[in-house]
A = this chain, B = another copy of it.
């Protein structure tokens, strides 16, 4: 009998989804960044839930406050990708025996900090005893149905762009877990990207208001994975002509002989937005949001990086629970490529 780790996160989700009777007229299909229900008058409630588990999602240098804040950011990032302003969050918390009072206070502080940074509030929640620290947030907001950008609208010829550079969290995680050396300022930036991630809410809301986007997703499972998700949902492919590698990731790659392409494409735990845009609207969008154009949508269902004579097939892999884990160096190597 197969077990959770044989299956991996995505196959587990697929198995569970198969048992569910879908709600009629769902405004958002299963598997997009958020779920939603239609509340009439052209409005919908968008909801997202995601869980932070101490054992697998928290490098030991991350404080409980940072973990709680991150649990909020993870959820807000998905609403941001759909152009939905988060109104509020509820939180279910699992706390292990022996967990200290000051850490409990830090949970409250981190939750509040994450929510207030993005104009949202924590409304309530629940606490249980568990073997791990568990922080499960449900974030929700009200949006306009006609403004919602799914993963499924990308058309051949569209531009594909991202809201920032990639590779910092993958590099930062390596610094933390393998205790790699780096100049102080560089180390601070990279580690900070892991411990204090930012959601692209301002960008997501601005992008949704332009009417220029055809698809949108957040990059929490890595840039490569996000592109493949749009591929699957939109039935298109990508020709990438620029890898949006962060300068800091490039520096650390040179310093320690790491593969910069791995850091850029297959890292995950990054919260940039990956969007496809009608080419005729590109200029106008760029006046409102800083975007990095990385390529074009193609008819062929593959993701190819081509620069000069160099051609590379971008694989459908990235961060996946059970398959990749912070606590497992073996899989860490798999995750970030071999050294």
Q: Which A residues contact B (CB, under 8 angstroms)?
A: 1-7, 9, 12-13, 15-23, 26, 30-32, 34-37, 39, 43, 45, 47-53, 55-57, 87-88, 90-102, 104-105, 107-109, 111-112, 116, 121-132, 134, 136, 138, 140, 142, 321-322, 325
Report which of B21, B32, B98 forms a contact with A112, defined as CB distance below 8 A.
B21
Besides A19-B111, A50-B92, A129-B321, 12 more A-B contacts (Cβ < 8 Å) are A19-B109, A36-B123, A45-B140, A47-B88, A49-B91, A51-B93, A51-B94, A56-B128, A94-B132, A94-B134, A129-B322, A138-B138
Residues of B within 8 A of A16 (CB): 93, 104-105, 107-108, 111, 125, 127
- Give me 18 A-to-B residue pairs in the complex whose CB atoms sit less than 8 angstroms apart, sorted by A's number: A3-B100, A3-B101, A4-B96, A4-B98, A12-B104, A15-B108, A16-B105, A31-B124, A39-B39, A47-B123, A49-B124, A51-B134, A51-B136, A52-B128, A53-B94, A94-B132, A129-B325, A130-B130
Residue from the set A51, A98, A123, A124 with the largest chain B CB neighbour count within 10 Å? A124
**B104 touching A4, Cβ below 8 Å:** yes
Report which of B9, B49, B57, B104 forms a contact with A92, defined as CB distance below 8 A.
B49
Query: Measured between C-beta atoms, what is the minimum distance from A335 to chain B in Å?
Result: 14
**A47 touching B140, Cβ below 8 Å:** yes
**A131 touching B128, Cβ below 8 Å:** no
**B35 touching A123, Cβ below 8 Å:** yes
Residues of B within 8 A of A322 (CB): 95, 97, 129
Query: Measured between C-beta atoms, what is the minimum distance from A117 to chain B in Å?
Result: 12
| Assembled-state Cα–Cα distance A93/B30 (Å) | 16
| Assembled-state Cα–Cα distance A131/B5 (Å) | 13
Q: Which 9 A-B pairs have the closest CB atoms?
A: A19-B108, A138-B138, A35-B123, A23-B121, A131-B131, A16-B108, A35-B124, A51-B92, A136-B136
| Assembled-state Cα–Cα distance A84/B130 (Å) | 29
**Chain B, residue nearest A39 (CB):** B142
Residue from the set A88, A98, A116 with the largest chain B CB neighbour count within 10 Å? A88
| Assembled-state Cα–Cα distance A248/B126 (Å) | 31
Residues of B within 8 A of A51 (CB): 92-94, 126, 128, 130, 134, 136
| Assembled-state Cα–Cα distance A45/B142 (Å) | 10
Residue from the set A107, A122, A128 with the largest chain B CB neighbour count within 10 Å? A128
| Assembled-state Cα–Cα distance A97/B31 (Å) | 23
